[in-house]
Structure 1
Amino acid sequence: LPTLLQVIPSVYQLTLLWFCPESPRWLVAKGKEDQARAILVKYHGECDPNSELVGIEMSEIIEAQAREAAANVSWAAFFSSKANWRRIFLCTCVATFSQTTGNLLVSNYLAKILKDTGLDSTFDSTLINGMSTLWSYICSLAVAGFVDRFNRRTFFLTGSIGSLVVFVAWTIAAQQYVDEGSIAAGRFIVACIFLFQAFYTIGWLNFVVTYPLEIVTYQMRAKAWSYVLLVVPRFSAGYWPLPER
């Protein structure tokens, strides 16, 4: 049943994709300005082909495309300067740290963790998994609301130090559960899962996307994000199997 429920959003999205208009920017980039204008007229110009707003938007898109084409950064230029290498180093750190903080331990091995703490029923596992996902979403919204009130270092340090403290407490509780069979220790581990999700969201979940794009130039953004996506799986804890007991 949980797997079938996950299919519903995918089917919903796949169905609606057929009704989504193409991006006017992409159409202009491919030389299909008439199609781009038609979409803008329909959705922004109230079906008026002489709409002033549509004319302004088309001019802005064409000018932006021309500027981007003139300032396009090749992969060779991407790695050519000392300043760019510093940016690449920071992008590498963010991508690496975001995947070595323990997040995939929770997302990939939650059922095994719960089983090792006495919660081995499918209902308990599904319920906690759903609550954890919802909690992570709520934390993401909260971080987004405060994103302009604190500097990035504050978020990174708070999330990383908080995650470290939670994992230390988690490890102690896990050992107590193994040695003494303490039910309280097992339930404390469940609480640690939610605490970790909060701290991970504060430090990394949002900023693994936004921070690399903030520190690179506008012309580097597409390639910088491609680079981050290349690095992330290489350091993903999801590739590290848990040892069998």
Structure 2
Amino acid sequence: MNDRYGRRSAILVADFLFFIGAVIMASAPNPALLIVGRVFVGLGVGMASMTAPLYISEASPAKIRGALVSTNGFLITGGQFLSYLINLAFTKAPGTWRWMLGVAGIPALLQFILMLLLPESPRWLFRKGREEEAKAILRKIYPANEVEREIQDLKESIESEVEETGSSEKINMMKLLKTKTVRRGLIAGVGLQVFQQFVGINTVMYYSPTIVQLAGFASNRTALLLSLVTAGLNACGSVVSIYFIDRTGRKKLLVISLLGVIISLGLLSAVFHETSSHSPLVSPAATSQFANYTCPDYGSAKNAASWDCMKCLKASSPDCGFCASSADKMFPGACLISNDTVKDTCHADDRQWYTRGCPSKYGWLALIGLALYIIFFSPGMGTVPWIVNSEIYPLRFRGVCGGMAATANWISNLIVAQSFLSLTQAIGTSWTFLIFGVISVGALFFVLIYVPETKGLPIEEVEQMLEHRVLQFKFWQKSSSTSAKNQAV
């Protein structure tokens, strides 16, 4: 749709899908229709996630292109924070979830109306032969002393594409992958999108309340409020990206971001290892106070004296919980069946009830680790992959390549989100974060080797750079022939 009908049209369709999906979800009489609404919203998310940064990139001057695409990232993360607040506000309203889901139709409708007032991407118009429309838009975007050069560069880029591929709009995927500039761009762009997810960001965003509970905070409300802090830090990190992206460059920001992510994941892994290996013991005396609710696995265990909180929570027939000591949560407690009646009974004795994580002296360190993770991830790995993907591909292939990268991102998102809780149950939270840390090290080497620097370059020059550069270990370097040409110029 981006290549055939234009960026603006694709965003309008995405807004329409958002709005229809929100209305269907809010009015759904059964789960089946709720899922139908989610499908519409999912299609809208997928289209908007790659089209919005692409549109912004193609309608922005090179000097501030990174900052404007980063602003898109800030508004996404800021919107996530706002959605937490809105959901919190609706928790006590009648028809709670209908309001939560239905209110999403308002920004979709607003953006649809406002998009009608905006022009199409000038680069897409140029590619379609509508040069006068494109020139009129470019003259509004660029200063008078730069606009003619931009028009000339864009014209030369289009002419060379047509000369190479002809005027046919049909894209040959095999030829696309054999084209050096496209192949190099796809390696960098798709790789960044995959690593963005596999360093674990959406486990933190989706499951931050769960992670807080795994760190030893028993209260659901406390966990939800602390997840608000996570969402707020994510939005603040996007502001940092807006400031630094066109000053330090894309690659340096990615390297700094990944170094911080590796340190943060190492800290989280160490904290959860300490939490699981030093959890409070299960006391027969404390458990006997709740004789009717004793966890069956504990009651029938031959080595019950070795049981601690973590072993209690891993019992599965049925699920069991840990009722902490009223004197000190780190003292031995009771291992009981997990249900609402037992939970209320435990709370009645001024005890804390744990079903996900165990009491820990190091819970505050886990919060610091989560905060550091978001602070480092958001300005670099959070926004830069979308920026790079909006500027690294030749114009003719920008829509389809951006779509491939966005698809890789969402598939990776699905894999990580669906596997996180299973991994924590199978190998423990500590090892799960350690795996993300190892992947982050791989991501760092990938950035050093495969990702070029596009800071301040007109989009047409990015294509030339990919064409003439040769791959060297650690960095992209200009080939000798290109250096000679540049010296001659």
Q: Same fold (TM over 0.5)?
A: yes
1:116–1:209 Cα change, 3 Å = same
Show the counterpart of 2:208. Answer: 110
CA contact (8 A) 1:213 1:224 kept: no
Is the aligned partner of 1:200 residue 2:380? no
Give the letter aligned to residue 131 of structure 1: V
Q: Which has the larger radius of gyration?
A: 2
Show the counterpart of 2:393. Answer: 216
Number of residue pairs aligned between Structure 1 and Structure 2: 217
Question: Counterpart of 1:202 in 2: which secondary structure?
Answer: coil
In 2, the alpha carbon distance for the partners of 1:103 and 1:58 equals 38
Question: Counterpart of 2:407 in 1: which secondary structure?
Answer: helix
1:4–1:165 Cα change, 3 Å = farther
Is the aligned partner of 1:191 residue 2:368? yes
Please identify, of 69-78 and 140-149, the stretch whose mean Cα deviation from structure 2 is larger: 69-78
Percent identity over the alignment is: 14
Give the letter aligned to residue 412 of structure 2: F
> Structure 2 matches for 1:1-245, cutoff 5 A?
1-2=87-88, 6-7=100-101, 9-17=103-111, 19-20=113-114, 21=116, 24-25=119-120, 60=136, 74-76=171-173, 77-181=175-279, 183-236=360-413, 237-243=416-422, 244=425
1:234–1:59 Cα change, 3 Å = closer
1:4–1:136 Cα change, 3 Å = farther
Question: Counterpart of 1:25 in 2: which secondary structure?
Answer: coil
CA contact (8 A) 2:208 2:230 kept: no
Give deviations 1:117-165, integer Å, cap 9, x for gaps. 2223222122112121111111101111111111322112111121111
1:133–1:8 Cα change, 3 Å = farther
In 2, the alpha carbon distance for the partners of 1:18 and 1:217 equals 28
TM-score between the two structures when normalised by the length of structure 2: 0.39
TM-score between the two structures when normalised by the length of structure 1: 0.74
| Root mean square deviation of aligned Cα | 3.3
Residue 4 of structure 1 deviates from its aligned partner by 6.6
Give the letter aligned to residue 209 of structure 1: W
| Alignment gaps of 5+ in structure 2 | 1-86, 89-96, 126-131, 138-150, 280-358, 427-489
| Alignment gaps of 5+ in structure 1 | 30-55
Give deviations 1:72-100, integer Å, cap 9, x for gaps. 67243432312221111111211111111
In 2, the alpha carbon distance for the partners of 1:217 and 1:23 equals 24
Question: Counterpart of 1:74 in 2: which secondary structure?
Answer: coil
Give the letter aligned to residue 240 of structure 2: A
In 2, the alpha carbon distance for the partners of 1:183 and 1:97 equals 31
Give the letter aligned to residue 135 of structure 1: L
CA contact (8 A) 2:209 2:226 kept: no
Give the letter aligned to residue 204 of structure 1: M
Give the letter aligned to residue 177 of structure 2: F
Please identify, of 193-202 and 217-226, the stretch whose mean Cα deviation from structure 2 is larger: 217-226
In 2, the alpha carbon distance for the partners of 1:178 and 1:83 equals 49
In 2, the alpha carbon distance for the partners of 1:109 and 1:4 equals 22
Please identify, of 176-185 and 14-23, the stretch whose mean Cα deviation from structure 2 is larger: 14-23
Please identify, of 135-144 and 227-236, the stretch whose mean Cα deviation from structure 2 is larger: 227-236
Residue 209 of structure 1 deviates from its aligned partner by 0.6
Give the letter aligned to residue 201 of structure 1: S
